[in-house]
């Protein structure tokens, strides 16, 4: 259900002082390794399902049932949708969760006798994980995409799309490849959500002039950008980032509000740094003796984060070995207080902005990585829960809306040419193009040109050639994922990210060589299809030159 915002027009009574649009960006790179019985980096997905996606879905459902009228936009990226709908990953996640429950139960018995100061936190984990398993198996039928889809159909979420594989559009060299990132994403959205997306989270909020034309061609009405896309746009934006602007072609732009970003996201002043909250970095996977943990580790016996964390932050300058036990009840209370603080600051901000804008009701757009809520900030989902309850039940100054709602209000929107920008460090493209990862681009660009040449060349391919061409498209898309360059820059999982990029370029090359020589190796093709099975619906012809 899409709600119109005609009620917010200035002449209508009970108009709120301002509007608030929470936008969550849920994305993980496509990590699926059927060639191994278990794989460390697949944990990224499993942890996010347990800590982020199930809690958020559960909270949104509860809010809906309580008639709290939660309303927010959420991007569920195409790779994430594909992983959440994948049979192999679904089975592996179930195994992962059951294993974690076994460990939590074992721990519960242990701490009862030996470590009573951790009783509360372990009890919380047992209850939470057991509830997650019930929800996963019985309520969501192991398919979270459908759960998100239902929340959209109920009017809680406005689900938007992203680049097909989160490709950084300004650094893609050909128009055809950029278009493919958008078109494949839109087709994938239709497959999973049964409708067209209204909006798109541009991967890394990276924009340069011309991208809006690709979006318009795919029927997308708006995109999310960083603050300076609008603030440095031309002409000067009358309402800054507190109203959308429209590109000359009619595609709208919603930009990030800095104040709300800092309040939640800043490591220095953000809520998640409160001493009451759960400490992320101390995990039983590194705290308990290895023999004890062994049944719960991968077969290689390596320690890793297991997701059971027993300590609170304790203090900004407190060393990890001096952390104090986590108290779930106190953290929940703190989340409620922070939600109240956040809302009161929104009210104050709305009054200030309204004054600055000569009475125009401001829209505060607050985009965050979804994984901040629950994974990095364990209490984040509770914060969102309290926030929406307070917005609905405790006040009438702020109203939660989505970008689509705002556009439906038909409030006049200023036309502007936004500025090139991204939401990454320093505001442009440095994170994804620098001395450490620039080596990637000549290979990606070569594959982009070659893909279009192949698509143009094969007018009447046979069945195997069609499969090979489609798989080439998948490999190129996977190579373009911005996650690889990002992680290389960040210095995290550098080897894995580098290998993934090389793998997809390598696989693309093997198949392209076969196509060019009219000798596709079917055994090789089948193996690559089995591994990189993203986008079953893909059609290589999207790469044909226009």
Partner 1 sequence: MMTDKKKPAVKKTPDGKKKPTGTKRSKAKKLRLSKEPVFSGSSKSAAAADTYDGPADAVTETKPRSDEDILDSMSPLDRKLADPVLPELPRENRARLQLQSPTRLYFYWSIKHNPFKTLSKAFGGSTGSYSLVVKLVNRTRGTEEIYRVDPEGNWWFAADPDSEYRAEVGFYAPNRPYIRIIYSNSVSTPRRSPSRRTDYVPRFTVTADEFADVLEVSGYSRDAFEVALAGDDRDAADEITRATFDGLLGSMRFDLSHFDGDELRFVLLALASGFSLDEIKTQVSAGLYKKLFGSGVRVSPEQALAALQENFEVDTEEIFETEEVGPAVVGLSAINFPKRVRSRRVPTKLLNRISKLEPVSSAR
The nearer residue to partner 1, 92 or 282, going by C-beta atoms, is: 282
Indicate the residue among 177 and 487 with the shorter CB distance to partner 1: 487
Per-residue mark of binding to partner 1, 463-502 (x: CB under 8 A): --------------------x--xx-xxxxx-----x--x
Report cis status (omega within 30 of 0) of the bond before 475.
no
Does 395 help bind partner 1 (rule: CB under 8 A)? no
Q: How far is the CB of 435 from partner 1 (least distance, A)?
A: 8
Q: Exactly one of 279, 338, 408, 465 binds partner 1 (CB under 8 A); which one?
A: 279
Residue 436 within binding range of partner 1, rule CB under 8 A: no
**121 and 325 Cβ atoms separated by less than 8 Å:** yes
Residue with Cβ nearer partner 1 (237 or 381): 237
Quick check: 258 binds partner 1 (CB under 8 A)?
yes
- Of 399-407, 443-451, 454-462, 534-542, the window that binds partner 1 (rule: CB under 8 A) is 443-451
Q: Is residue 319 near partner 1 by the rule CB under 8 A?
A: yes
Instruction: Report d(CA 221, CA 246) in Å as an integer.
Output: 10
Among 3, 38, 44, 397, binds partner 1 (CB under 8 A): 44
Contact letters (x/-) for partner 1, 408-427, by CB under 8 A? ----x-xxx--xxxxxxxxx
E-strand stretches of 52-140? 72-76
Binding mask of the shown chain, residues 1 to 30, with x at each position contacting partner 1 by CB under 8 A: --------------------------xxx-
β-strand pairing of 398-400 with 245-246 = unpaired
**Which parts of 119-178 interact with partner 1 (CB under 8 A)?**
170-171, 173
Query: What's the Cα-to-Cα distance from 136 to each of 53, 302, 307, rounded to whole Å?
Result: 11, 27, 17
Q: Is 428 in the site for partner 1 (CB under 8 A)?
A: yes
Residues from 203 through 232 that contact partner 1 (CB under 8 A): 208-209, 226-228, 231-232
Contact 263, 270 (CB under 8 A): yes
Question: Applying CB under 8 A, which of residues 88, 126, 288, 411 lies at the interface with partner 1?
Answer: 288
Helix (H, G, I), strand (E, B) or coil at 20: strand
Region from 97-105, 133-141, 313-321, 399-407 binding partner 1, contact rule CB under 8 A: 313-321
**What is the closest distance, in whole angstroms, from the C-beta atom of residue 350 to partner 1 in the complex?**
11
**Dist. CA 389–CA 66, nearest whole Å:** 9
Under 8 Å between Cβ of 228 and 206:
no
What 3-state DSSP class applies to 411? coil
Interface residue with partner 1 among 4, 95, 102, 286 (CB under 8 A) is: 286
Contact between 391 and partner 1 per CB under 8 A = no
For residue 384, the Cα-to-chain-centroid distance in whole angstroms is 16
SS3 labels along 66-87 = CCCCCCEEEEECHHHHHHHCCH
HEC readout, 214-256: HHHHCCCCEEEECHHHHHCCECCCCCCCCCCEECCCCCEEEEC
Closest approach of partner 1 to the CB of residue 196, in Å: 25
Q: Total residues contacting partner 1 (rule CB under 8 A)?
A: 134
Residue 330 lies near partner 1 (rule: CB under 8 A): no
Q: Rounded to the nearest whole angstrom, what is the least distance from the CB of residue 499 to partner 1 in the complex?
A: 7
Of 218 and 353, CB closest to partner 1: 353
d(CA 399, CA 182) in angstroms, rounded, equals: 31
Which region, judged by CB under 8 A, interacts with partner 1, from 190-198, 315-323, 453-461, 533-541?
315-323
Q: 502: exposed, middle or buried (C-beta count within 10 Å: 0-12, 13-18, 19+)?
A: middle
Residue 546 CA neighbour count, 13 Å, CB half: 10
């Amino acid at each position: 259900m899409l709600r119109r915002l005609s009620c917010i027009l200035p002449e209508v009574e009970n108009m709120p002082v301002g509007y608030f649009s929470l936008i969550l960006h849920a994305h993980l790179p496509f990590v699926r390794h059927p060639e191994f019985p278990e794989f460390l980096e697949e944990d990224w997905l499993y942890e996010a399902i347990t800590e982020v996606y199930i809690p958020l879905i559960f909270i949104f459902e509860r809010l809906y049932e309580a008639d709290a009228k939660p309303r927010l936009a959420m991007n569920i990226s195409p790779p994430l949708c594909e992983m959440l709908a994948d049979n192999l990953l679904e089975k592996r996640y179930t195994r992962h969760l059951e294993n974690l429950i076994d460990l939590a139960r074992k721990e519960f018995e242990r701490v009862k006798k030996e470590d009573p100061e951790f009783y509360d936190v372990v009890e919380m984990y047992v209850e939470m994980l057991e509830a997650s398993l019930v929800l996963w198996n019985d309520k969501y039928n192991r398919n979270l995409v459908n759960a998100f889809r239902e929340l959209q159909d109920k009017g809680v979420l406005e689900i938007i799309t992203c680049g097909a594989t989160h490709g950084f559009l300004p650094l893609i060299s050909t128009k055809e490849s950029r278009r493919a990132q958008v078109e494949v994403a839109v087709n994938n959205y239709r497959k999973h959500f049964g409708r067209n997306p209204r909006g798109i989270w541009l991967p890394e909020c990276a924009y340069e002039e011309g991208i809006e034309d690709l979006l318009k061609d795919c029927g997308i009405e708006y995109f999310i950008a960083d603050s300076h896309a609008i603030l440095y746009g031309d002409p000067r934006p009358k309402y800054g980032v507190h109203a959308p602007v429209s590109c000359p072609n009619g595609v709208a732009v919603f930009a990030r509000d800095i104040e709300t970003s800092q309040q939640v996201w800043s490591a220095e002043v953000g809520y998640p740094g409160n001493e009451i909250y759960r400490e992320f970095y101390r995990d039983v996977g590194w705290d308990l003796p290895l023999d004890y943990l062994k049944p719960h580790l991968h077969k290689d016996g390596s320690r890793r984060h297991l997701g059971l964390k027993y300590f609170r932050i304790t203090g900004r300058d407190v060393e990890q070995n001096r952390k104090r036990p986590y108290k779930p009840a106190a953290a929940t209370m703190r989340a409620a207080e922070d939600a109240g603080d956040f809302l009161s600051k929104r009210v104050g901000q709305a009054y200030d902005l309204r004054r600055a804008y000569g009475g125009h009701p401001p829209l505060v757009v607050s985009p965050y990585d979804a994984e901040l809520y629950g994974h990095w900030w364990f209490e984040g989902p509770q914060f969102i829960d309290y926030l929406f309850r307070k917005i609905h039940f405790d006040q009438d100054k702020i109203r939660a809306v989505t970008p689509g709602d705002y556009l439906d209000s038909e409030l006049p929107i200023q036309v502007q040419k936004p500025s090139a920008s991204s939401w990454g460090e320093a505001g442009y493209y440095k994170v994804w193009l620098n001395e450490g990862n620039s080596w990637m681009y000549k290979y990606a660009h070569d594959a982009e040109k070659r893909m279009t040449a192949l698509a143009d060349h094969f007018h009447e391919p046979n069945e195997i050639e069609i499969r090979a061409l489609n798989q080439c498209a998948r490999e190129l898309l996977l190579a373009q994922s911005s996650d690889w360059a990002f992680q290389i820059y960040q210095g995290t999982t550098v080897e894995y990210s580098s290998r993934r990029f090389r793998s997809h370029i390598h696989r693309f090359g093997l198949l392209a060589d076969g196509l060019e020589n009219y000798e596709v190796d079917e055994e090789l093709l089948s193996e690559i299809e089995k591994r990189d099975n993203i986008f079953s619906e893909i059609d290589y012809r999207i790469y044909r030159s226009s």
